[in-house]
Amino acid sequence: MKKIVLICLALCLVFSIAGCQQSQNISTENLLPVDARAEAEIRQAVSLMLDREYIAQQIARGGQQPASTFVPKGLTDADGSQFYANTNYFDPSQDAYEENFAQAMQTLRKYYAYDEATGKFLNFPTVQYLYNNSDAHRAVGEYVQSVLSGVGIRVELENQEWNTFLNTRKQGDYTLARNGWVADYNDPICFLDMWTTNAGNNDIQFGKGDHAGQAIYSLDLTPYGVDYRVENGTWSQTYDVLIDTIKQEANSQNRYAMMHLAEDMLMQTGCITPLYYYTDPYMLSSTVEGFYANPFGCKYFHNARVSGKTDAISVCLASEPDSLDPAFNSTVDGATLLGHLFAGLAKWSLDEKGQPVVVADCAQSLPEGTLESDGTVTYTYHLRQDLKWSDGQPLTAQDFVYAWKRAAADTTGAGQGYLFRVIQGYGTGELAVDAPDDSTLTVTLTSPIGYWNELLALPTFFPVREDVVSSNEAWAANPNSFVCNGAYRMTDWVHDSLITLEKNENFYGAADVTMEMIRFFLSDDANNMLSNFKNGTWLVIDQVPINEIPTLQKQYGEEFVIADQLGTYYLCWNINADLSPK
């Protein structure tokens, strides 16, 4: 019987046979085939169905601004204006929502059977929506599910704990997933270079799997003085080339124009659905002084005091970090931990006005580069004297050389090696970084890079020691094997519960580090975080239940902080997911 019913329904949908449930109300004529280009248009249409004003005001509730671009508010363009404001992909305002929705429906009706009577599509494939454990992320997923189910698109929600979620998304085992990216430095390229084929954060799978062979993209760089033009090329022949060209371009006007072109290519795929520009809501106890955060969401407790005391502070920023190997971290909470455990050539600090600024760390200073005749730029760094690892062994310039070459050579797609594209020799196995002696490091960039010092402050550019890494594949997951060079050392890691850091007496600046111990509790349960904040157990928390935000703002005043943050909350589609009618 089941088989007969299915056949009857199929005949009704395809041939509109009389007697099958109001066949005259079902639109199936002249439907277009769903190919790669059509899938891009379909993804864009689904994006227009989402009310960003509602999501920002009624779900996120943290002062977020509805987003229509991937590059967020706050990053500047060539002329100093806002990069995002110079682009117009669609109007995300409430006033435009009805028109956006109607346009989306018109687009989808070209590809899927539509029942006029119910206002629903009958053969849109089921969408699996992946998100990590969090009230806020679940609420966004439920909203997406509700909106799409209203037009007949079934959405199945799947939540996973943080580490599993990151790995699932990275492997491309999803259809649609929640995502977010916060700037590593103040330049739009940090939102654009993550989507090259072999980039560690290319969760959309651009240039991978079936998409690797899809020759549907065009690129013309001749307007920018580059002799390169291709029609109907693959992702690697177009987008990858574009990003490489941007990273070698010395002319600022051309460079920013090409970055707009790169974002155009991303948005035309429909794989990125921006929802809102981030803010950074967190709770900070009034008993805490000396705490600060940078514009990218990393928080620092080196000089914190709790009611004037410096023995210990307990905080909760997120759940179990995916990795505390500097080469493989891609999260803000992981970067916060690594910022306490390691020291690079540069670091974030506060200037005399209390503003975040990059200053020298292991390097004695941050010198200007030397422009060479071939357009490359060479930097020479002199390390501080008597730098040591947490186990007391000397730290040398060769440790930086090893760490950078290791991170840049990663071929697993798990790391952040693409950040080294700006260094000459990237991808050839001959990265242009060298240690003439134990206290001197030289590096040659392909062209002048205005954000180079900010790169040096990223965990990816922190040193690691070869004998530690090569002798134990899991060295970064166990306090007994974890060797670092920063202000703190790891003394305990109860996985999924607590990471304890204690002041590292072998750190060159130990005398200036006031807080003796930091307990990073691990949780992604916003209710649990708030409960522990209220009872005074955790003095800084990075999440709160979204339904509590209005009350917390009234009751806690300045202890409820909404800080600016350079980032975008978005949904991402797996570009290899099949969206053909089912």
CA distance 302 to 292: 9
Residues recorded for the chain: 582
- pLDDT tens digits, one per residue of 417-427: 889 999 999 98
CA distance 275 to 382: 44
- With contact defined as beta carbons under 8 Å apart, do 546 and 569 qualify? no
Q: pLDDT band at residue 295, thresholds of 50, 70 and 90? A: confident
CA dihedral (189, 190, 192, 198) positive or negative: positive
CA distance 529 to 534: 9
HSE-CB at 87 with a 13 A cutoff on CA atoms is 28
- pLDDT the model gives residue 21: 43
Q: pLDDT band at residue 563, thresholds of 50, 70 and 90? A: very high
**1 has pLDDT over 70:** no
Q: Which residues contact 413 (CB under 8 A, 6 or more apart)?
A: 170, 198, 199, 200, 202
Average pLDDT over residues 146-157: 98
- pLDDT the model gives residue 13: 37
- With contact defined as beta carbons under 8 Å apart, do 468 and 326 qualify? no
Q: pLDDT band at residue 16, thresholds of 50, 70 and 90? A: very low
Q: Give the CA angle between residues 42, 45, 48 to the nearest 5°.
A: 155
From residue 158, how far is each of 54, 130, 153, 178 by CA, in Å? Answer: 23, 5, 16, 11
Read off the DSSP letter of residue 515: -
- With contact defined as beta carbons under 8 Å apart, do 9 and 20 qualify? yes
- With contact defined as beta carbons under 8 Å apart, do 178 and 55 qualify? no
Q: What is the 3-state secondary structure (H, E, C) of 205-260?
A: CCCCHHHHHCCCEEEECHHHCCCCEEEEECHHHHHHHHHHHHHHCCCHHHHHHHHH
CA neighbor of 262 nearest in space, from 227, 294, 224 = 224
CA distance 95 to 45: 18
φ, ψ of residue 76 to 5 degrees: the values are: -90, 160
Domains defined for the chain, CATH in brackets: 25-276+568-573 (3.10.105.10), 286-538 (3.40.190.10)
**497 has pLDDT over 60:** yes
CA distance 118 to 158: 27
Residue 305: strand pairing partners: 289
Mean pLDDT score across all residues of the chain: 93
- pLDDT the model gives residue 20: 41
**18 has pLDDT over 80:** no
- With contact defined as beta carbons under 8 Å apart, do 406 and 327 qualify? yes
CA distance 332 to 255: 27
Tokens 């080294």 found at: 420
275-285: b or e for each residue (b if 16 or more CB lie within 10 Å)?
bbbbbbbbbbb
Q: Which residues contact 574 (CB under 8 A, 6 or more apart)?
A: 172, 174, 175, 176, 177, 204, 205, 271
Q: pLDDT band at residue 412, thresholds of 50, 70 and 90? A: low
CA distance 92 to 577: 26
- pLDDT the model gives residue 29: 72
Report the predicted TM-score, pTM, of the whole model to 2 decimal places.
Answer: 0.87
CA distance 76 to 196: 22
Residue 380: strand pairing partners: 442
Average pLDDT over residues 380-386: 97
Average pLDDT over residues 126-145: 95
Identity (one letter) of the amino acid at 383?
L
In the structure encoding, which two tokens stand for residue 126, read together? 């089921």
- pLDDT tens digits, one per residue of 266-291: 999 999 999 999 999 999 999 999 99
**27 has pLDDT over 90:** no
CA distance 549 to 554: 9
- pLDDT tens digits, one per residue of 505-529: 999 999 999 999 999 999 999 999 9
CA dihedral (33, 34, 37, 42) positive or negative: positive
Q: pLDDT band at residue 222, thresholds of 50, 70 and 90? A: very high
Q: Give the CA angle between residues 53, 55, 61 to the nearest 5°.
A: 100
